Copies of this chain bind each other. A is one copy, B any other.
């Protein structure tokens, strides 16, 4: 399949695999797709090591990096960012999360202070200055694409990428956002429907994809959200996309680093078991519904805080929940969750990422041929 995307990136298949696990990125890339590493939750040092590792695996094949660079960000004391942000989290919120963990029988907080600081620094780095350090690492590697998921990229990111021959991609959830991204100089638009995992809007892929194609003025548009099979990939191409951007499907891969208890919840879940919630990051993000969300829905629960305060608050809880769930703690397992799209309902087993890639492309190709034949019946 040759599309505007395969031509632009020099890849075999119009399939982008977005994941935080370097092994998934390498496997998708080596299977002829285009792997993109979700880099925002890594420190610059970690990111550097991972990109080096990916490049060792993929032998010159192109791959990409995805960052969160928000447009606006209020810092009251730029000299001490983490302390300034921590001071903005109300005591009521800390008390609510502590009481919730206690209610579910989680062990008293024992993370070393240094670990918490590291977490907070990563959450606090979701801002233009913090992203700069990750961008410096990114551009020191031979990436083919840099993607951004929170609004239009800053002008210096675009000019730096274009000077290096790097494609700039952006995720959008509304037609008007696509227009703003194009004005900012973005090369590839990812139309992310509401059924997608992670930060997502309310418009579905069937409706959003043609809207973004219409305003893209010939630039490649990828469909994201609801795409985990060859049939869904064929549907995205039917909607006018030049390819697909898949995130959730890799959470059913063997290589994905999501804790095993969460992956087992994914395998058991149906497509109605996700929700859009602000309780993880401060912005609406689709995730698996768990006891965590039930608690935040109670009348006495505080309202979630904005980004990056909510991830700073939630992050320290999640470390404890993940660790306890990994040891089979029932309360932690009830609370545990992660970002996932509605395609989770189709997960039946964990498979190698390369096998998922190959099967999606083969099924899509067969489906496209069958559709061509249907036209003349």
A residues within 8 Å of B by Cβ?
1-3, 174-176, 193-195, 201-208, 210-211, 225-227, 229, 231-232, 234-240, 270-272, 341-343, 345-346, 365-369, 371-377
Contact = CB atoms under 8 A, between A and B. Distances in A.
B207 A175 contact: no
B202 A229 contact: no
How many copies of this kind of chain does the complex include? 2
29 contacts: A3-B374, A175-B271, A194-B194, A194-B204, A195-B204, A195-B207, A203-B345, A204-B225, A206-B206, A207-B226, A207-B232, A207-B341, A207-B343, A207-B346, A210-B232, A210-B346, A234-B238, A234-B371, A235-B236, A235-B239, A237-B238, A238-B367, A238-B368, A238-B371, A365-B375, A366-B375, A371-B371, A371-B372, A372-B372
Contact of A175 (B232, B236, B270, B375): B270
A193 B346 CA distance: 16
A203 B272 contact: yes
A82 B101 CA distance: 51
Contacts of A231: 210, 238-240
Given A174-B272, A271-B211, A1 B345 contact: no
A271 to B, nearest CB: 5
Given A193-B204, A238-B231, A239-B235, A373 B371 contact: no
A159 B101 CA distance: 54
A1 B372 CA distance: 11
A3 B342 CA distance: 28
For the complex of A and B, 6 pairs with smallest distance between CB atoms: A372-B372, A206-B226, A195-B204, A368-B375, A234-B238, A235-B235
Nearest to A14: B374
Nearest to A368: B375
Contacts of A365: 375
A202 B273 CA distance: 10
Nearest to A6: B377
Most buried by B among A175, A211, A366, A375: A375
B373 A207 contact: no
Contact of A195 (B2, B206, B235, B377): B206
Nearest to A173: B272
Given A193-B204, A206-B206, 4 more contacts: A175-B271, A203-B345, A211-B345, A369-B376
A268 to B, nearest CB: 14
A229 B369 CA distance: 21
Most buried by B among A271, A343, A371, A372: A371
